[in-house]
Amino acid sequence: MNNRQLFLQHVAQTSPAPLAIEIVKAKGTKLWDKQGKEYIDLIAGISVCNVGHRNPKVVKAIKKQADDYLHLLVYGEFIETPEVQYAKMLTDHLPASLNSVYFTNSGAEATEGAMKLAKRFTGRPNIIAFNKSYHGSTQGALSIIGDEYFRNAYRPLLPGIKHLEYNSHEAIDAIDEQTACVILETVQAEKGVYAPSLEWMNSLRQKCTETGTLLILDEIQTGFGRTGSLWGFEQYYITPDIVLLGKALGGGMPLGAFIADKKIMNSFTENPVLGHITTFGGHPVCCAAGMAAMKFLLKNKLIESVKEKEFLFRALLKHPKIQHVRSRGLLMAIEFDSFDTNKKVIDACIMKGVLTDWFLFGANCMRIAPPLTISKKEIERACEIIVEVCNSL
Ligand code: PLP
């Protein structure tokens, strides 16, 4: 059997139509398949490879850490330099109240930990989440996912969860003294890039403060410069009580985190002890890789170029078949009239060497979320191909 057959036979399949492209090498914004075909990657492993694939600084940090030690012990016992240093670096670049980092293995696990922490700290039963939100696929994260099609097959799910309309006054009115937390993406990515209004975010912050409800912002896609600032919430001039990180956090290695004030996080320390447990969370190689990626992001001022690149995409992606372009930095949704049109464009783009896909809850929207290192020339070439494909429809 060849690798494709083995993939279909032995790797658990959750998609009825996986891309099944066999990539053998990646560098920067480029991928190469087994046949030597080159792709411009417009999705960065879904907002993961912000500093490019196989960034040399990240690879060097991984190799160095692999020479020192790999896994030593379960989370939170030994002092592991990469974890300590990365926690320090993250908190140095966050508001003062976000000063304690719990590293997990994935975004979903960060969501789970934060939901537990909010219940534990407030002693309250209820959670408010939003329609068309995505926070992961484990049972707790699935319970707050904002889509009935995905939720319904797994009932019973967690009780005490209300799904409301993002950016609506109804949602703010629903927060009360029984609400442990409100959890939302700073920009709803999988709906097809919807950003809430400044006023709404500020009213939400205010109502949470008034009722003693924790505000959890999921920055798993929007973090690390994706939207044009280091954290998406900076553009709303608010600070969450807990922030969730993942994806680009590990520089291409698996890593998630939930970050809060120490006085909130300390609720995990007693009665019962070990409020959240993980064997691998904060893995030294992942933390070393993530820290190298963050250093590269900041040192090379990648975030400063995000807006300019966003505008270039927007200027080049004008076509009668494109109905709307929604974007926050390099998190962009190109809207077509239907999934059918979108899929045709995506498939043809892949044939022509531009890798993109659609959104979980925005099937008629094409995703553009490339490495932030993408060059002007690569943007021009990718857009030329997208427009060429649109012309051919
Ligand atoms: N939150 C958001 C906004 C996401 O986009 C994702 C993944 O796509 C997650 C959470 C879950 O992260 P993971 O797939 O690492 O569990």
Give start and end residues of each alpha helix (H) in 242-362. Answer: 262-265, 284-299, 306-316, 339-351
- DSSP 8-state secondary structure symbol assigned to residue 285: H
Q: Quick one: 156 exposed, middle or buried, by C-beta within 10 A (0-12, 13-18, 19+)? A: exposed
Contact 180, 125 (CB under 8 A): yes
- DSSP 8-state secondary structure symbol assigned to residue 388: H
Check if 246 has its Cβ closer than 6 Å to any atom of ligand 1: yes
CA 3 to CA 169: how far, in whole Å?
52
Contact 110, 256 (CB under 8 A): yes
Kindly list the distances between the CA atom of residue 286 and the CA atoms of 69, 103, 118, in Å, as whole numbers in the listed order.
12, 10, 26
For residue 147, how far is its CA from the centre of ligand 1 (angstroms)? 15
Per-residue pLDDT reduced to its tens digit, 147-162: 999 999 999 999 999 9
| Domains of the chain, earliest start first | 11-54+301-392 (3.90.1150.10), 56-299 (3.40.640.10)
Check if 134 has its Cβ closer than 6 Å to any atom of ligand 1: yes
Residue 318 carries which side chain, given as an amino acid letter? K
Per-residue pLDDT reduced to its tens digit, 155-199: 999 999 999 999 999 999 999 999 999 999 999 999 999 999 999
Judging by DSSP bridges, how do beta strands 100-104 and 256-260 pair with one another? antiparallel
- Reduce the DSSP state of residue 361 to 3 states and report it: coil
Which residue's alpha carbon is at the smallest distance from atom 5 of ligand 1?
221
Check if 221 has its Cβ closer than 6 Å to any atom of ligand 1: yes
Q: Which two tokens stand for residue 217?
A: 């912002």
Per-residue pLDDT reduced to its tens digit, 306-344: 999 999 999 999 999 999 999 999 999 999 999 999 999
For residue 220, how far is its CA from the centre of ligand 1 (angstroms)? 6
Contact 367, 317 (CB under 8 A): no
Per-residue pLDDT reduced to its tens digit, 344-370: 999 999 999 999 999 999 999 999 999
Q: Residue 50: what pLDDT?
A: 98
Q: How many CB atoms lie within 10 A of CB 160?
A: 14
